[in-house]
Amino acid sequence: MTHKEAGYRKKFLHNLGERIYGEKKGVEWIRATFLGAAREVGRSAILIQTPNSRVLLDCGIAPGSSKSFPYLEVPEFNIQTLDAVIISHAHMDHIGLVPLLFEYGYRGPIYMTRPTRDTGVLLQMDYIGICQREGKPVPYSSKGIEEMLKHCIVLEYDEVTDITPDVRITLSNAGHVLGSSTVHLHIGDGLYNILYTGDIKYENTKLFEKASTDFTRVEGLIIESTYGMRDLPPHGVGVAKVVEKIKEVIARGGKIIVPAFATGRAQEIIAILAESDIQAPIYLDGMIWDSTAIHTAYPEFFSRLMQNKILYKDKDPFQDPRLKAVGSGKERQKVFESDEPCVVLATAGMLIGGPAIEYLRNFANDEKNLLLFVSYQAEGTLGSKIQKGWKYVPTATDERGIELKLEIDTVEGLGGHCDREQLYAFISSLKTRPKKIIVNHGESMTCSALARALHKDFRIETNCPRALETIRFA
C-alpha cells in the first residue's frame, strides 16, 4: 500500500469512527438487488443492503449489447447513500462503468486488488478512445477515472477489512484473471456471510491456482454461470489442441488471429505458446502488450509454478523473444503485408471492434489463415454470430462486408470460467453448505437451468433473478 493509499484509508476509517469497532449486532435483513448481469453476461452490478449499509458489487458494461449499462437510475439505487463499491476484477463487464459513479457524484471508497486497479484504468482509458474513434457516446471522461483512482483502496488477497458498520469483506483468489477476486461479505455479527464469486475458475491454469474455497462460513452464494450448463474438456486438453492447431496453420503458411480480452486469455495463450516450439512471431495488438506489462509487475498473483518461471528470464513467458508489440497502424500494415506465418493476439475479445476486426478483414480471403476463438463469446457479439455460422465481417461502409474464407475454429477448455462440473466442485468444496444460491452472469436459459439443477442436486434454495429483482437473504 502506498503512503497516499494508507493515508486515504486511515481517513476513511476515522470517518467511520467508533461505529466500525463498536458492538456488532445481528442483522435484521439483507437484500441483494440485481442491477445487471441478471440472466445475461455483462453489466454486472449488485446492490447489497442491510439496515446499516449499501454496498455495490461491481459496476460494468455489457459489451456488444444495446442495453449496455446497469440500471443505475432506478429508485432502488441512490448514489448519495452508497457506502462502498467493491470490484471483483478488471474485465469491462465488471469495472467498465465505475468512473461514471464518480461523475454522478460518488465520493466513497472503492475496494479492489492492485492489478485490478491498474488494468482497470488501462481498459477504461482505452474504452474512452474506442468510443471516440467509433463515434459512440462516451459515458465518462478521464476525470471520472482520476476520481476513481483517488478513492481506490487496494486490498491483498485474504486481508479482512471492515467497510461499513456491519460489513467486513475479504477478497480471495478467483483463478480467473490477474488479481481477480471472489468477495466474501461477513455481515453483522457474522451469522450471515455472502460469497460473491465474480468470475471464477476452479481448475489450475498455466497462470493461476484455482479459486480459493477457504471460507469459514458461507450462507448466501451469488455464483456466475457463464458455462454453467456446459461440460468442457480439461485445461490440459485445450492447451494441447491450441498448440496443435497453431502448428498446423503455420506449417501450411497461414496466419492466425486470436481475438482476446486485453487481460485473461491473451496471457494464458502467451504462456502456452512460450512453452511450445512454435517457430513464428507472436504479435500482440490493442491493449494486450500494456496489460501483459502489468502482469509482470505483480508476480505474487500468479500460481507458485508460474512465479518460479518468472524469476528466470529465459523461462519467463512474458519475455519470450517471439513476442512482438504492434503499436500503430503502420506496424499493423507490415504484419498484413508480410508473407511470413504468424500468430496475432488482438482485442476486442468478442470482435466487437478494435484491431482484431482489422486483422480479420485482412486475413479473411485466404483459406490458409485461421480465426481461432479461445474464450467466451457473448450473445449478440460478432464473435458469437461467426461461431454460429455467420460468414462475413463488416467494413466501415458495408454492413455485410467481407466474406470469411479463412478457417474458423474454437478451442474449448482454455476459458477463465468454470464449467458445470467445476461449479459443482467449487460449491462442494466450501466448508459450509450455503442456505441460498443465486445464479447470475449467464445467458437466461443457463441461469434458470443451473438454478434448477443446483436445487435438485444440493437441496438448497436457489434463484436466478431478473434485472431489478431484489432477493432477500435473511
Nearest in space to 432 (alpha carbons), one of 106, 213, 162: 213
For the CB of residue 341, give the shortest distance to Zn ion in the complex, in Å. Answer: 31
For the CB of residue 324, give the shortest distance to Zn ion in the complex, in Å. Answer: 26
Q: Which residue, 91 or 210, has its beta carbon nearer to Zn ion? A: 91
- Asked whether the beta carbons of 262 and 291 are under 8 A apart, the reply is yes
For the CB of residue 36, give the shortest distance to Zn ion in the complex, in Å. Answer: 11
For the CB of residue 174, give the shortest distance to Zn ion in the complex, in Å. Answer: 9
φ, ψ at 371 (rounded to 5°): -100, 120
Q: Which residue, 91 or 186, has its beta carbon nearer to Zn ion? A: 91
Taking CB under 5 A as the binding criterion, the range among 86-94, 123-131, 276-284, 463-471 that sits at the site for Zn ion is 86-94
For the CB of residue 199, give the shortest distance to Zn ion in the complex, in Å. Answer: 4
Q: How many residues does the chain have?
A: 474
DSSP string, 224-242: E-TBTT--PPPHHHHHHHH
Cα–Cα distance for residue pair 185/48, rounded to 1 Å = 10
- Asked whether the beta carbons of 243 and 401 are under 8 A apart, the reply is no
Q: Which residues contact 439 (CB under 8 A, 6 or more apart)?
A: 223, 225, 228, 447, 448, 450, 451, 454, 462, 463, 464
Q: Which residues contact 303 (CB under 8 A, 6 or more apart)?
A: 204, 205, 207, 208, 209
Give exposure, 156-167, as e/b (b: 16+ Cβ within 10 Å).
ebeeebbbbbbb
For the CB of residue 177, give the shortest distance to Zn ion in the complex, in Å. Answer: 6
Instruction: Give how many residues touch Zn ion by CB under 5 A.
Output: 3
For the CB of residue 15, give the shortest distance to Zn ion in the complex, in Å. Answer: 32
For the CB of residue 441, give the shortest distance to Zn ion in the complex, in Å. Answer: 6
For the CB of residue 445, give the shortest distance to Zn ion in the complex, in Å. Answer: 18
For the CB of residue 308, give the shortest distance to Zn ion in the complex, in Å. Answer: 26
CA dihedral 19, 22, 23, 27 (to 10 degrees): 20
Question: What is the per-residue binding string for Zn ion in 228-257, x denoting contact by CB under 5 A?
Answer: ------------------------------
Pairing label, strands 402-403, 392-393:
antiparallel
Nearest in space to 440 (alpha carbons), one of 468, 411, 409: 468
58 binds Zn ion per the rule CB under 5 A: no
Q: Which residue, 61 or 335, has its beta carbon nearer to Zn ion? A: 61
Question: What is the per-residue binding string for Zn ion in 199-228, x denoting contact by CB under 5 A?
Answer: x-----------------------------
SS3 384: helix
- Asked whether the beta carbons of 356 and 283 are under 8 A apart, the reply is no
Task: Report which residue type is found at 335.
Answer: V
Q: Which residue, 93 or 268, has its beta carbon nearer to Zn ion? A: 93
Q: Which residue, 170 or 180, has its beta carbon nearer to Zn ion? A: 180
Taking CB under 5 A as the binding criterion, the range among 85-93, 235-243, 291-299, 346-354 that sits at the site for Zn ion is 85-93
Cα–Cα distance for residue pair 110/155, rounded to 1 Å = 10
Question: What is the per-residue binding string for Zn ion in 87-116, x denoting contact by CB under 5 A?
Answer: ----x-x-----------------------
Question: Given its phi and psi angles, is residue 226 left (phi above 0), alpha (psi -120 to 50 degrees) or beta?
Answer: alpha
Q: Which residue, 83 or 93, has its beta carbon nearer to Zn ion? A: 93
Q: Which residue, 33 or 180, has its beta carbon nearer to Zn ion? A: 180
Name the one residue in this structure whose C-alpha cell is 502448428.
247
Task: Report which residue type is found at 322.
Answer: R
Pairing label, strands 54-57, 45-49:
antiparallel
Q: Which residue, 83 or 199, has its beta carbon nearer to Zn ion? A: 199
Q: Which residue, 32 or 256, has its beta carbon nearer to Zn ion? A: 32
Q: Which residue, 95 or 243, has its beta carbon nearer to Zn ion? A: 95
Question: What is the per-residue binding string for Zn ion in 162-201, x denoting contact by CB under 5 A?
Answer: -------------------------------------x--
For the CB of residue 26, give the shortest distance to Zn ion in the complex, in Å. Answer: 33
Name the one residue in this structure whose C-alpha cell is 436459459.
445
**In the complex, which residues of this chain contact Zn ion (CB under 5 A)?**
91, 93, 199
